[in-house]
Amino acid sequence: MNLNLTSKNALVCGSSKGIGKASAIELALLGANITLVARNEAKLKETLQQLDVSNNQQHDYVVIDFSDYKNVETAIQQLLQQRNEPYHILVNNTGGPAGGLAIDAETTAFLQAFNNHLLCNHIITKAVVDGMKQAGYGRIINIISTSVKQPLHGLGVSNTIRGAVANWAKTLANELGKFGITVNNVLPGATSTDRMQEILESKSVKTSLSVDMVASAMKEEIPLGRFAEPHEVAAAVAFLATPAAAYINGINVPVDGGRTGSL
């Protein structure tokens, strides 16, 4: 099985923490050169120091705030103008919208989430895809949520926008496959990240239960009986980026311990 990413260049979004950071680490362990992307420069620098360089890789980072898609467009074009090599791997990953019922959400919440997720994903993908075509190798991997298969309670805006991203990705998979470019979605379930802690604390306030009690109730819904660790989700991301995954295209891969109630 060919899992070697030596000489491959990967652009990993949201990689200063959580699943994005874990994905960057896993890709580097397979030999890829990593460009980290996030808005917190201090955390990017910390992550940069944790990336493997045993294959003489060259890693770097770029600070981009996804809250304004026009700024993203400018920043990604500047990044590409400074490079002589294409990106072979793109990991689209952005922190999820705030929780709450869909019916209670303001219009602006949907617009901002659409901007942060679908529009920014699209801008970055468009920017790197020509390089992938020229290289004859492309892996676009979107970290989304199991909500694209089964909406999650209390995450109305996220459920809506994540579904849009999933269908955008499937459409791209159909369009780009002939160029040797695959597009797939990794769907994390409950994972031990900062966002999970925020969700637990929010539910704790709403239910008047302790955070530990809320967490225990959530774990009871998971056949494996625990939350995922970020590196376990990142393993799926890394595999989809490799030559071994060349014929896997246009799919959703839940990494949720079996929690999702549908195939």
Task: Classify burial at 47, counting beta carbons within 10 Å of its beta carbon; exposed 0-12, middle 13-18, buried 19 or more.
Answer: buried
Mean predicted confidence (pLDDT) in 57-61: 97
pLDDT of residue 45: 97
- Residue with the bigger pLDDT between 206 and 228: it is 228
CATH architecture of 9-189+230-250: 3-Layer(aba) Sandwich (3.40)
Instruction: Give 140-181 pLDDT, tens digit per residue.
Output: 999 999 999 999 988 999 999 999 999 999 999 999 999 999
The yes-or-no verdict on residue 263 having pLDDT over 90 is no
Whole-model pTM: value is 0.95
pLDDT of residue 99: 85
Q: In what order do the strands lie in the sheet with 89-92?
A: 60-63, 33-38, 9-13, 89-92, 138-143, 181-188, 252-255
Mean predicted confidence (pLDDT) in 23-36: 98
Mean predicted confidence (pLDDT) in 220-234: 97
Instruction: Give 62-107 pLDDT, tens digit per residue.
Output: 999 999 999 999 999 999 999 989 999 999 999 888 888 999 999 9
**Proportion of the chain above pLDDT 90, given as a percent:** 87
Instruction: Give 234-260 pLDDT, tens digit per residue.
Output: 999 999 999 999 999 999 999 999 999
pLDDT of residue 97: 86
pLDDT of residue 95: 86
pLDDT of residue 184: 98
Q: Which two tokens stand for residue 174?
A: 């159909």
Contact 162, 189 (CB under 8 A): no
Mean pLDDT of the chain: 95
Tokens 């989809």 label which residue?
240
Which band of pLDDT confidence, cut at 50, 70 and 90, is reported for residue 199? confident
Domain locations in the chain? 9-189+230-250, 191-227
Mean predicted confidence (pLDDT) in 209-233: 94
